Chain A
Amino acid sequence: MLVADRLIAGGIMALALYFMVHAVELPIGWNGTTGGPGGGAFPFWLSAMMFACAAGILLRSFAADARASFHMDMSMLRSVLAVTGALVVTIALMPFAGAYVALPLFLFWYLRIFGGHRWVLVLPLTLLTPVFLFFFFEVTLRILLPKGLTEPLFFPLYAAFF
């Protein structure tokens, strides 16, 4: 999997370049009057160092005795992608449908569809986790989780607990 190693090294180089381009918006040179470097110097020169080291890693991977460190279990790639996708959908849903819809849906998907667990386990976990979250975060810590469209449904609960 030398290709993946090289892709990651290349990606880091691109990121470093991006940082460098944006860092020059602030002075990166030495300021004689106030003493010391400008505001852009730290990000710029550190990104330059990052670029150089990533380039070193990339060049090293072309050497004759290069060893690949990336061992991807291809059969599990689908699972990793599925979980990542579910995570992204859940986070995207949160501002609209609210945490109390998105998170139980995620748990249900993960436990029942992805994990294939029995209903006896899935239902209590899916239903009790949001209850725990509500009492822990909203009632105890006074931290309101995003509710989106479901906000009106919580008005009676707010009235009861606050």
Chain B
Amino acid sequence: MDVLTLLADGFATSLSPLNLMIVILGVTAGLFIGAMPGLGSVNGVAIVLPLTFIVPPTSAIILLAAIYYGAMYGGAVSSILLGIPGASTAVATTFDGRPMAQQGKAGLALIAAAVASFVGGTISVVLFTLFAAPLADVALAFGPAEEFALVLLAFTTFVGLGGDDVLKTIVMICLGLVLSTVGLDLISGQPRLIFGDLPGFYSGISFLVLAIGAYGVGEVLYTIETSKSAPQVTPARITFGELRAGFRAMNRLWKTMSFGSFLGFFVGMLPAAGATPASLMAYGIARQTSRNPESFGKGNIEGVAAPETANNAASTGSLLPMLTLGIPGSPTTALLLGGMVMWGLMPGPMLFIEQPEFVWGLISSLYTANFAAVAINIALIPLFVWALRMPFTVLCALVLVLCIVGGYAPSQKMHDVWLIAGFGVAGYLLRKADYPLAPLVLALVLGPLMEKSFRQTLIAEQGNVLAFFERPLSASFLAIAALFFVLPAVKYLRKSTRQSMAPAE
């Protein structure tokens, strides 16, 4: 089969000594970053992104993907041990993982998380292998009109599916889009929004600067405020017997795990949905279909396995639209996308034709990364507990230094470092006031594409707005987008009618 030949070539790339070393290094680094409270794959990828210039692009994206994978595994570790989700994707893991740890079953919960992540990751990589190329073919039919409709769809999924406040989500999307227009106008080349003619703004605002500011500095400030005292660490101990008991327990969870994998993969594939909603959905469905739903939230191993399979499957799934369409499904893939652009690799349908070595190298390295991650994760469980005892005051100081240097390195302008500090404080305040940050970062990444595709279409069609509705693909995307936009209003109305019908207490 064609796919198998390509995959075999891919393995030849990913199993080269350099790339294999990079996978192991990346997974290990990712595990630690993911396991640090407050730091997730976004932070890991954002901090390391400027450091990837030393290796060839294929190896660089493999490093980032390995960190991504490792962080997805690691996110569960602090969720279980500390009750602090290492990343937003691991929030659902705390619901049952924390009670298990409190009952002294931390080892079992950690094994469950690792095995579930492995199953989720493997099933979704197989799905990825089979569907990446066909989807890329579909993507070839994409013109600017479809691109615009799809980007719009990505933003409306945030509004319709996200649990956040709708008005605040829209504010963040608009802010990100407006910030993305800073610099030179794409069509006329005139400068716009350069804030009193500051030269630094002529080149626009890099998504990296916003991401390091909001997720790095902002997160540290948030952690300083919320972690007044060091969190209580539950000592985890792993014996061989416990390991065997863990695997035996996982054997009974095949149904939950395979369902979580498929669900996660398909939700992850949706632009902007990503791993966090996928893990929450998998948890909710596992609870609803369980024979004893009341045991959930009190330390049910199924409640750890379901979200962990889904978030790993989703992280693979979200790579698919990123590679084939250039549309990131999550903030982390948005960063990966930015990285690819920085190395001169243009994501999109042509990538599969022009850079088969890169694409299949990446896909095969996902298999390798998965094996590496589960092995390293289980081996390192005792060490995690030790690392998590690092006081916040040490961790935060080092993260801040990395943010400053990491923000300066790509452009070598102090201007960007000041922006990072500014975005850090702004991101901290916005997060405190419950404004979601992910739409902001995504909007900054997708903004230029959105404006360009919108204006390109209109120039090609002599200003005919109806062009967006005349093409079948773009029309159906717009229809789904409209549906997502209406969804919160419908939900709200239904809730308020139900409330008014309910008897007064």
Contact = CB atoms under 8 A, between A and B. Distances in A.
A141 B54 contact: yes
B393 A110 contact: yes
Interface in B389-407: 391, 393-394, 396-398, 400-401, 404-405
Contact of A26 (B170, B185, B226, B404): B185
Contact of A136 (B51, B418, B425, B458): B51
Interface in A70-122: 70-73, 75-77, 79-80, 83-84, 87-88, 90-91, 94-95, 99, 103, 106-107, 110-111, 114-117, 121
Interface residues of B, number: 65
A19 B178 contact: yes
A152 interface: no
Interface residues on A, range: 35 or more
B259 to A, nearest CB: 34
A88 B421 contact: yes
B225 A79 contact: yes
Interface string B223-263: 01110100000000000000000000000000000000000
Query: For chain A, what secondary structure do more than half of its interface residues adopt (helix, strand, loop), or is it mixed?
Result: helix
Contact of B178 (A32, A34, A43): A43
Contact of A43 (B170, B181, B401): B181
Nearest to A91: B417
Interface string B404-431: 1100110010100110010011001110
A72 B463 contact: no
A23 B193 contact: yes
B455 interface: yes
Nearest to B458: A36
Nearest to A94: B414
A73 to B, nearest CB: 5
A64 to B, nearest CB: 15
A40 B430 CA distance: 26
Contacts of A16: 174, 178
A103 B230 CA distance: 25
B190 A26 contact: yes
A121 B393 CA distance: 12
B131 interface: no
A91 B171 contact: no
A26 B464 CA distance: 22
Contact of B401 (A36, A71, A77, A107): A107
A72 B432 contact: yes
A87 B400 contact: yes
Chain B residues touching A, majority SS: helix
A23 B194 CA distance: 10
B386 interface: no
A54 B178 CA distance: 15
B433 interface: yes
Contacts of B428: 80
Interface in B465-505: none
Given A87-B421, A88-B421, A121-B394, A144 B459 contact: no
B103 interface: no
Contacts of A114: 393
A8 B429 contact: yes
- Residue from A40, A83, A88 with most neighbouring chain B CB atoms (10 Å): A83
A12 to B, nearest CB: 6
A91 B405 CA distance: 10
Interface of A: 4-5, 8, 12, 15-16, 19, 22-23, 25-26, 30-32, 34-40, 42-43, 46-47, 49-50, 53-54, 56-57, 60, 69-73, 75-77, 79-80, 83-84, 87-88, 90-91, 94-95, 99, 103, 106-107, 110-111, 114-117, 121, 125, 129, 133, 136-137, 140-141, 143-146
Interface of B: 51, 53-54, 165, 167-168, 170-171, 174-175, 177-178, 181, 185-188, 190, 192-193, 195, 217, 220-221, 224-226, 228, 391, 393-394, 396-398, 400-401, 404-405, 408-409, 412, 414, 417-418, 421, 424-425, 428-430, 432-435, 451, 454-455, 457-464
Nearest 3 interchain pairs by C-beta: A115-B393, A36-B458, A39-B185
